[in-house]
Amino acid sequence: MQFGVVFPHNEIGNDPKDIKAFAQGAESLGATHLLIYDHVLGADPDRPGGWRGVYNKDTAFHEPMTTLAYLAGVTDSIELVTNILILPQRQTVLVAKQAAQIALLSGDRLRLGVGTGWNKIEYEGLGVPFAARGKRQREQVELMRALWSEDSLSFDGEFHRVDAASINPRPNKPVPVWFGGSAPVVLKRTAELGDGWMPLEGPNERMQAAVAQLKQYRSDAGRSWDDFGIQAQVQWARGTPEKWLRARDTWTQLGASHLAIATHQADPTDCAGHLARLEEVLEVVRG
In a domain, 153, yes or no: no
Strands 153-156 and 161-165: antiparallel
In a domain, 151, yes or no: no
- HSE, side-chain direction, 13 A CA sphere, residue 283: 8
In a domain, 170, yes or no: no
**Mean pLDDT, the chain, integer:** 97
Neighbours of 159 (CB within 10 A): 15
In a domain, 30, yes or no: yes
In a domain, 82, yes or no: yes
Nearest CA to 207 out of 242, 171, 247 is that of 247
Bond before 84 cis per omega within 30 degrees? yes
- The 10s digit of each residue's pLDDT in 141-164 is 999 999 999 999 999 999 999 999
pTM of the model: 0.96
d(CA 120, CA 122): 5
- pLDDT-based confidence at residue 52 (cuts at 50, 70, 90): confident
- The 10s digit of each residue's pLDDT in 252-286 is 999 999 999 999 999 999 999 999 999 999 999 99
In a domain, 216, yes or no: yes
**CATH assignment at residue 41:** 3.20.20.30
C-alpha separations of 139 from 143, 155, 160, 226 in Å: 6, 10, 8, 25
Range of the domain at 52: 2-126+175-286
In a domain, 20, yes or no: yes
Q: What is the mean pLDDT of residues 156-180?
A: 97
Total structural domains in the chain?
A: 1
Q: Which residue has the higher pLDDT, 16 or 52?
A: 16
- The 10s digit of each residue's pLDDT in 207-245 is 999 999 999 999 999 999 999 999 999 999 999 999 999
Whole-number pLDDT of residue 287:
86
In a domain, 147, yes or no: no
Q: What is the mean pLDDT of residues 1-12?
A: 97
Share of the chain above pLDDT 70, in %: 100
